[in-house]
Amino acid sequence: MEVKIMEWNINQRGRTGKTIPLWILDKVPDDINIIILTEFNCRAENINEFYTRMECMGFYYVTTNYSFKYANDIFIAIRDKGIRVESISYFKAYPDEPNSTCCIDWDSIPENLRIDVIIDNNLVTILGIRIKELKGDYDSRRIEMETVMKWVKEISNPIVILGDFNNLRDNTPIAEWNLNVLDNLLGSDFIRTTPTNHSWRLAYFNGQFDGYIKNDHIICKNISRCTVEQYDWNFAKHYRLDVIDKFGKQESIIPVGEPDHGILFAKIEL
């Protein structure tokens, strides 16, 4: 069975985006089986309308609901009679409010949501992840990914991890957190698949939209085939563009609460 997946950071930015733009649902292809949204806001003012529309589109959905006021949530939706949800879980990624007194290093825990599903009689773990940005603390971002690898170390069934890993651009001089560091943590069992264009910080250049960094990825273990399309920026045509710089580029001006990442479309086969 081929499973089609869509992952998208929708930029609710710590729940400061008050409403989820419902037009993002118009960007969901009819044949998508799994949706993962990062920087989601389960407390948005229009959340019930969003959920109702998801149900009308045939999706079963789950989300984190962190108690911390400025948390980012993760949302996963499933749509296919051939995919059966077995279990749902997530680790707390933020302290309770008021701040918990327990001695937990919250900066070492990424935003996360796990669903175990049955596909073609096979148990598959789907894990939505967002490595927290932490104001440029690159060591902590690496530690967050080390936490993820500890979680999946003992899982023997096929695993699919998708999300925003907040890694730096390919040619960065910063050694603490980039794609090479990420790949070294994955080892030989996990395979990262990434489009060749870019998924964040949108610019318009030579008649095309593109970003600056590839930081949305699909990472698989024990999956026979995984393919991706280019990050999709077609939704960005309505964003306002800044002045053209000396290199011929224009930055896009994206309001808080509207998607600022390209969409990652992927296909997997067990």
Which residue has tokens 């996990």? 190
What is the pLDDT of the chain when averaged over all its residues? 93
First to last CA, the chain: 7
Q: Is the pLDDT of residue 101 over 60?
A: no
pLDDT at 43: 97
Q: What is the pLDDT of residue 231?
A: 96
2-16, 36-50, 229-243: least confidently modelled range:
229-243
Mean pLDDT value across residues 132-138: 93
Handedness of CA 108, 92, 217, 204 (dihedral sign): negative
Read off the pLDDT band of 241 (50, 70, 90).
confident
**Ramachandran category for residue 207: left, alpha or beta (phi over 0 → left; psi -120 to 50 → alpha):** left
Prior bond of 98 cis (ω within 30°): yes
With a cut of 90, say whether residue 205 has pLDDT above it: no
List the single range of 189-193, 206-210, 250-254 with lowest mean pLDDT.
Answer: 206-210
Q: Is the pLDDT of residue 100 over 70?
A: no
Residue 220 pLDDT: 98
Distance from CA of residue 172 to its chain's centroid? 22
- Domain span holding position 244: 2-269
State residue 158's pLDDT score.
98
In this predicted structure, what is the pLDDT of residue 246?
A: 80
pLDDT band, very low/low/confident/very high, at 212 (cuts 50, 70, 90): confident
Q: How confident is the model at residue 127 (pLDDT cuts 50, 70, 90)?
A: very high
224, with CB counted inside 10 A (0-12, 13-18, 19+), is exposed
CATH of the domain at 108: 3.60.10.10
| Tally of domains within the chain | 1
